[in-house]
Structure 1
Amino acid sequence: MNKEKRQQIFSRLREANPQPTTELNWSTPFELLTAVLLSAQATDVGVNKATARLFPVANTPQAILDLGLDGLKEYIKTIGLYNTKAENLLKTCRILLEQHGGEVPATRKALEALPGVGRKTANVVLNTAFGQPTIAVDTHIFRVSNRTGIAPGKNVDEVEQKLLRHVPGEFRQDAHHWLILHGRYTCVARKPRCLSCIIEDLCEFKDKTE
């Protein structure tokens, strides 16, 4: 795919959705970090239901710690892998209090040192909470990048590096959200909705649906 096509693709995505953002509900960097940590192998809808109950009661590292392991599990037990996630969140809260004054750090190295926080989670927090032009490659972005030809790659790291290299600078801050939403609602896994796709004529996917 050439530079002009990518420019047109992101121009259309921006025109259709000028201010894209995550579908997770959050109001502070810590709430976002918590929501993203809980969202692994879970839906945003499911996470939002749990945090709607959790955050009014505990939305700071100290408040989460005060709940204790069993108390925290009561709030998030509807989410997949909640036992492991509860343990990681408590460990993360402890580190935030001991090493970062209770604040979420704004560097990749510090974020990835937190239990349960990998590169994808760190990228989401850096992008959405701190306005850094990172791109977190999840299953949706991996699929859309490969299927359309925007940034094909064999693994998530390769796709991330290609996106950072090829997405025009003016779109890099919001590219993450545009691609996720496009993969979630239009370029879906089993049968992409090509007829209703605003970039269908620019996409290089050979097996388009009618």
Structure 2
Amino acid sequence: MKHTDQKRALCLLLYSLTAAAAWLCVRGVELEKYAAASAFDPKPIESVEALLDYERQKESASAERAGVRQPVIDVSLLEKDRIYEISGEDYETLLKIVEAEAGSEDEEGKLLVANVVLNRVKSDDFPDTVTEVVYQRDGGVAQFSPAADGSLSEVEAGAVSRETVSAVCRALQGEDNSRGALYFAARSAADAENMRWFDTHLTRLFAYGGHEFFS
């Protein structure tokens, strides 16, 4: 009987140790997940520099988890020389207007919207900065609907997609597939009278995604 009691006590001890080890293991995994989430979950980004730092950290983390040396996305796009020299405010405005106007488009569609904004900056017929172009009103009419309806101000820097960042950087480096377009419109969502103005006063160049582009 004494031998049986000793075996039972030993089994209980081993069970307790196993349960404790399992709890510590699970807790360790939870802590690791929490640490990873805390380090790399998207957070509000208040400046261009912070956005670029966040993109670099995120891609480095993705590369480490995938076991590769190079980032999954070519973050060097963020670091190349820019053809256009614009202020931090203009850069953030460009990111936001591209996200607001072309958030559902692919990267090429986003690039084209960025091209149109920069084409206007270069043109003598429009203001000289991105921010002035985006918020311009011609005869009281806003040139970009997100600037008029308030949706532009609702775009948080941290909510800007990686495709938008990449497209904007490509545009600032001089990549331009817009054929000189100064206007674009989404016919399916536009007011019929506004589209008549586009069709009668402008030259239609091409369509891509949900947008038509004009000069």
TM superposition score category, shorter chain reference: under 0.3
Q: TM-score, normalised by structure 2?
A: 0.23
TM-score (norm 1): 0.23
Decide which structure has the larger Cα Rg and report it.
2
Please identify which structure carries the higher strand content: 2
